Structure 1
């Protein structure tokens, strides 16, 4: 006699106290979206963190490593490793920072900009699955709300 599969914990636990906790929900949603993004970027040799650094550099913002660490909320040593990897692949360069000659700005190379454009297309496509339950208006509202939380300080 075939067994009836047990309901997934996701469905069974969604109504739990934890399943209604905003911090947990943000962390879980982040994990789901991050997994989709990393899977999409794998073929380009990137992960979400390295893509984040490359994306900011490709926009011409000329961030310092310290600024990247603050914005991405990563330890400075993680940023150094990410920039070292991207620089080793010829995707970014460290250049003199006009604002502070003691610092170096991280700037995307032409190859870095090309790869970033391809990565951006992959990331946008990868967003379809985790956010499939939201229509365009809901996605825009979610982005607006998350910006308010992420940049409150």
Structure 2
């Protein structure tokens, strides 16, 4: 049947069964977009978005990252990281401190207020995760996490 004579894929259900339904790059991008939108909505009550939550999480976890390390790890432009840190610092959630290993660099450390906010926000983030993955079993959830770690941290 010529392409011009094929029946139309009706609405979202038809599109779901299009060629993109089996395209992993598209599926990962769509899952990311849906997850990000849902997470940002849940984190808004804490005055955070996914990016600022990620920075706060690393600071609250005592990773003590430098701005350069944050930019590389989060795959963000360094200027974006500076803006995120500036906002969190203005809100007294994080502090820049001199890196004892390299006095020319600063590391990021969460304040007590930042740690408290992170604990509350992480509950919201976890609720988003559980909601988005409600259709999968705990075993599938863990396997998905394993696969995503392999993709996110190759090598």
Task: Confirm or deny a common fold (TM above 0.5).
Answer: yes
- The offset of 1:36, in angstroms, is 1.2
Using the alignment, how far apart are the partners of 2:91 and 2:74 within structure 1? 21
Segments of 5+ residues of structure 2 without an aligned counterpart are 1-8
Alpha-carbon offset, residue 67 of structure 1: 0.3
Question: Which structure features the higher share of helix residues?
Answer: 2
Give the deviation of 1:7 after TM superposition: 5.6
Maintained 8 Å contact 1:14/1:20: no
Which protein, 1 or 2, shows the higher relative CO under an 8 Å CA cutoff with sep ≥ 6? Answer: 1
Worse-matched range after superposition: 69-78 or 128-137? 128-137
Could you tell me which runs of 5 or more consecutive residues in structure 1 were left unpaired when the two chains were aligned.
1-5
Point out 4+ residue stretches in structure 1 off by more than 6 angstroms: none
In the other structure, the counterpart of 1:3 is none
- Distance in 1 (alpha carbons) for counterparts of 2:72 and 2:46: 26
User: Rg: which structure is higher?
Assistant: 2
Q: Which residue of structure 2 lines up, in the alignment, with residue 72 of structure 1?
A: 74
The match for 2:21 among 19, 22, 42 is 19
RMSD: 1.3
Partner of 2:3: none
TM normalised by structure 2 equals: 0.91
Task: Kindly tell me the number of residue pairs found equivalent between the two proteins.
Answer: 147
Corresponding position: 1:105 with 2:111: no
